[in-house]
Structure 1
């Protein structure tokens, strides 16, 4: 009798109603205290980066976006909390102080401006330190605030990561549901497609998609293929008129004057397209971000598709699905109205676990220079800029440390929260059973 009661209690505890889900989530938090810290880190990162986005991408008086605003003469300034002891660096920072301020300090200490700027100690030196340009987390080589660029870059990285994860999970859910519900040869064919895609190097496929799409956009704006085709067509016509049987390219090589004339006419006929002519009206930067988003999402759905397919194959033989089928419900209606709600937990878990993968891929591509492109910041290209600033003579460590810290902290927090969510929704994981 006691065993039957325990079994009933276990079945009740694993039911998918909100009360039991909340109870299991609280239990997961107790078993994983780090989850609370992870939730706090994520809340802080999203609030700091996303809510500050209107300010960080806002324009200054001259129309320059705030994340791109800086004075090159104030480049590579250490964070405000970091003590500066090197005499050469002190002299460089003194030289950044406006002449008017130097004159005022000199008048108070009885020194000429050229003497004040060389002061590295004493009362004059201490007063000069208070007039140095101050950056909370330092400045980059172009004198731009690293804090502002980290906030703007974080918003871009998080937005791309979350959007790519949502798109990939949507694709994987639709694909897996279709394969699992239809079954038979359709299921076998669809899963073989997934197996083939699994065999392709993951990052390599994303890199190839990003590079290929960038080349297509460049050709569309530059119109080089159109000019080349027009030049070769007119060169072929000229060769026919002259009675030359060789190829048009041979004629262009033998007659440089003709080649220059045709190229000039082609440039006049096919001028460069403005970025406003790009599809969707997003401009070059916006379209690059959309292409990057699509490239990441297009290869991130495979695991979700496999997991959803397995869940659907177990659900399609349940009584409620058979009842809906007996009442004449169509396949799409059964999948959307009856099966999909039972996949909510699985979808939520894999969405949480896919977001850090998408953010990492975006950062890696930006690090390689084929993701988010300058002057737009992202944690990946900020880390790449910081890596180039490390050298044996002078290490501007803050340019690499802070982007890597924010990226690592966000990815770790997302994985911790995703594991806790998976544990709270998966009874087998909670009991230590096979996953």
Structure 2
């Protein structure tokens, strides 16, 4: 009898939203497959130094565009043995006049060992380590080498370069999506919450609002707002001065005088409104018109235009962050428009209206009661946006405007195949392997995103 009561009580328990979502997600085999594939790719990128037998920058110029190394599994008697590679050298074929890699086991055999100590590296950038997956005497020999997936134009091992490049290509997608998400949620939330309600922005030193804040006993808030708008005016003045300097270097006479007068008048007008006047702006109109301007410009054209402005001699880490910023700047508009539509609906809900009626500030109502209602959508949009950023970065690097040597990314590696033309398909197909990794990563993210969309849909009853 007790067991039946416990069974009935267990049957009466209700599942939470995320418990039901997890149960629905587990019933989506393709989404689970995409998740496992992405896990393997990110683990490979994390342990790239362990998987690669050679350091990222090590090259063998005499083995430029070398095909994958032949790995032997049997000895001369046909019995299975430890895998090994043989001595090899580049020779010109006198019949075809092509340079080929010729393997000659009579000149030496070099066994392949697993989990050996090789050249040192720093795991995660600061942990000293030297354990590598593959090793052997072929690492220090000049007669034998191991190129699992061949080499590129500089004779660098493509197997290792792909895993090193995965760090850039996969990380760019996450960082660019995260930054675009922050910008899109911020501006989309503000646009949706203040839609139809002009906002007063100016509290300058000479503004009546400043004295009103002082009389209300909030001097710290008054001074902070006044200082903030003064800094905005100084920042605009600096940008205007830099622009005028570039214009004055190429202009003389009446054009220079006219540009200076217009610049000073524009700066004075901005300062007048920010410091003396109370400015009322429709933030929804301002933000949405900005997103429409960005949407009117083709993404590829805008990406190329902004990427050309990046100097060529900057460090790879700095260039990486600039590429992430450019990708986020170009693609935050779509997120902002969708978040705005969600906020417009959620701000009319009873709990949001009750929070404002109880005296909650606009910031608290927006961050604590409205934006959490968009989280399920944001989880899905993140998984569907990351592939587009991976493709965008790969396209930029393929065109030579993204990640540059000596760093590596899948798009940059794929550009090596483009440089060789049709030969990459007929004689050097291993150069196309980075494109296969791009395809796999994008497909896995889309499968995972489809599964999350179905699982997090509250109308789903499966």
Normalised TM-score (structure 2): 0.61
Alpha-carbon deviation of 1:297? 0.6
Within the candidate set 21, 33, 36, 2:32 is matched to: 36
Quick one: structure 1 residues 399 and 388, their matched pair in 2 at CA, closer, same or farther if it must change by over 3 Å?
same
Distance 1:431 1:53 in 2: 45
Alpha-carbon deviation of 1:133? 2.6
Quick one: structure 1 residues 158 and 18, their matched pair in 2 at CA, closer, same or farther if it must change by over 3 Å?
farther
Aligned length: 312
Q: What corresponds to 1:77 in structure 2? A: 66
Alpha-carbon deviation of 1:189? 2.9
Distance 1:81 1:23 in 2: 51
Alpha-carbon deviation of 1:338? 1.5
String of CA shifts for 1:56-78, please: whole Å, max 9, x gaps.
Answer: 6x9x8xxxxx1110111122222
Distance 1:144 1:403 in 2: 14
**Mapping of residues 169-188 of structure 1, within 5 Å:** 169-184=181-196, 185-188=282-285
Structure 2 unaligned residues grouped into runs of 5+: 1-12, 73-87, 110-142, 197-281
String of CA shifts for 1:175-213, please: whole Å, max 9, x gaps.
Answer: 11000011113323321221221111111111111112x
Q: What secondary structure does 1:139 align onto?
A: coil
Alpha-carbon deviation of 1:55? 7.6
Alpha-carbon deviation of 1:292? 0.8
**Mapping of residues 136-147 of structure 1, within 5 Å:** 136-147=148-159
Q: What secondary structure does 2:149 align onto?
A: coil
String of CA shifts for 1:349-389, please: whole Å, max 9, x gaps.
Answer: 11111111111100000000000001211000100102223
Alpha-carbon deviation of 1:29? 4.1
Whether 1:68 aligns to 2:57 is yes
Quick one: structure 1 residues 29 and 69, their matched pair in 2 at CA, closer, same or farther if it must change by over 3 Å?
same
Q: What secondary structure does 1:301 align onto?
A: helix
Distance 2:15 2:394 in 1: 36
Q: What corresponds to 2:171 in structure 1? A: 159
Structure 1 unaligned residues grouped into runs of 5+: 1-12, 61-65, 106-130, 222-282
Alpha-carbon deviation of 1:25? 3.6
Alpha-carbon deviation of 1:48? 0.5
Indicate the RMSD between aligned Cα atoms, in angstroms. 3.2
Normalised TM-score (structure 1): 0.65
Alpha-carbon deviation of 1:26? 2.9
Whether 1:395 aligns to 2:403 is no
Which structure's residues are more often strand, by fraction?
2
String of CA shifts for 1:235-272, please: whole Å, max 9, x gaps.
Answer: xxxxxxxxxxxxxxxxxxxxxxxxxxxxxxxxxxxxxx
Whether 1:316 aligns to 2:347 is yes
Distance 1:307 1:348 in 2: 13
